[in-house]
Amino acid sequence: MKKYFPYVLIVVTVLIGGLLLFWKGLIPLPALDKKANVVNVGKTSVVEILFKGNEYKLSYASMDPGKLVDIAKFDKTEQWQGSGSIEDNEELDEPVMALVDRDRQKTTTYLVKNYNFIDVDNIKFAVKLDSDPENAEVLNILFGDKSGTNFYRFPITNLAAGWNYYSIPKHRFFLVENEAARGTKTAVTNTATQKSALGWDKIERLQLELISRPGSKASVGVGWIRGVKEDTFDPEWNWDGKEHFLNLAHVGDGMLSLLVQNMGKGIATLKKVGGTKDFSYSSKITSLKRGNIGLFFRGDYKTGYGYYLVVGGEGTGDWSLLKFYLDDKSPKSTVLLNGQIANYEFSSNQPFWLKVTAKGNNIGAYFSLDGKDYTKLGEVNDNEFSAGGVGIAVSAGTRGYFDDFNLTQ
């Protein structure tokens, strides 16, 4: 046995050494698929899936206007009652309902109006808390019958200072069957149950209630309240998910348009398009405020790196073609082309069209007032980005309408 010991020792040493090398990843296992060839080049490769279709179109004007219910816009046509006051808000560029409550007295305002929310999935609105968050106990939003005896209620108890954006699924509201029994709540479905005559198709009253904490003062501003279908944006857009950025709006003769408002990050790309290389891409735009607004292309919505064709917004005639990119590991923005449209000024009542063309390193920028006859703004060669997503871009504090998206390649 002793004479075989050196050989046994060698075999054991080889086996243990091989096992250690395997654990360290220096000896790979063969692939299960014998046809596979596994190569480790030492770094991760990023692969972009390119759009294979010849054309993509998206029109909100052609959609059912019933996808959006304007619940409350706090304009002069609405007859609000109670203790609230309608005030202009420069940040949202629209009226808000201002509520102030002291020492837990409960400030209430309400609007008597007939609503049908059967086809609504989510209730969306914005709330600005102007006081110390510790002073606001709860903000209630209620949808009920005309007398306010029966209602669906959602309490908001976690308001933060500044703007708060909400998209509340309808099923999260609780049914209170009479005012005296407010503490008795019943989970609801989208239709009336046998226990109550109040259904989402029979709403006659919208009510807002602000309750402060004892010995304190709370003040809020409630922005435009709307009801939307849950699947309106997710199937079409990639964006950071913030509820205030993408909204629907009724424009003109009641048709829908995409309302984009940047209160933070302002980029979104078309999900079904994915990545594109050589293409023509256009959209109808209406600028509602001064600030850059326009098209984003060959870009990444998560980082913002890509090309932009934007105009200066309401009250200007400016336009720019620029890129945002990494230069020696540092973000950098470079204007490739810019100029002015001498005989035109962007306004909130005049839509326009922007179009970009990209083929290889060549990029063209175009402008139109009817979506048919385009004026060439400029042309440049740049090789920073060869492919990427296409979408929209809105600078901080800016808002506008977008529609009639059209891409061909």
Reported in sequence order, the residue ranges of 145-289 that DSSP labels E, i.e. its strands, are 151-156, 162-169, 174-176, 186-187, 203-212, 217-222, 225-228, 237-238, 246-251, 255-261, 267-270, 279-287
CATH of the domain at 80: 2.60.120.430
Is residue 104 in a domain? yes
Reduced to 3 states (helix: H, G, I; strand: E, B; else coil), residue 124 is strand
Is residue 404 in a domain? yes
* 217 shares a domain with 242: no
Is residue 248 in a domain? yes
Chain segment 91-109, per-residue pLDDT in tens: 777 899 999 999 999 999 9
pTM over 0.85: no
* 219 shares a domain with 242: no
Domain-terminating residue out of 223, 251, 286: 223
Is residue 245 pLDDT above 90, yes or no?
A: no
* 311 shares a domain with 208: no
Is residue 36 in a domain? no
What local confidence, expressed as pLDDT, does residue 40 receive? 35
The pLDDT confidence band at residue 51, using thresholds 50, 70 and 90, is: confident
Structural domain span for residue 325: 55-64+236-408
* 338 shares a domain with 214: no
Chain segment 124-168, per-residue pLDDT in tens: 999 999 999 999 999 999 999 999 999 999 999 999 999 898 999
Return the H-helix or E-strand segment holding 276. none
Please name which of 391, 394, 395 lies closest in space to residue 356, comparing C-alpha atoms: 391
- Number of domain units in the chain: 2
* 328 shares a domain with 200: no
What local confidence, expressed as pLDDT, does residue 179 receive? 63
Return the H-helix or E-strand segment holding 16. helix 5-23
* 281 shares a domain with 135: no
User: What's the whole-number mean pLDDT along residues 59-66?
Assistant: 92
* 298 shares a domain with 174: no
* 280 shares a domain with 208: no
Q: Which residues contact 261 (CB under 8 A, 6 or more apart)?
A: 92, 244, 245, 247, 394, 398, 399
Listing DSSP states for 72-102 in one string gives E---TT--EEES-EEEEETTTTEEEEEEEEE
Domain-terminating residue out of 223, 252, 275: 223
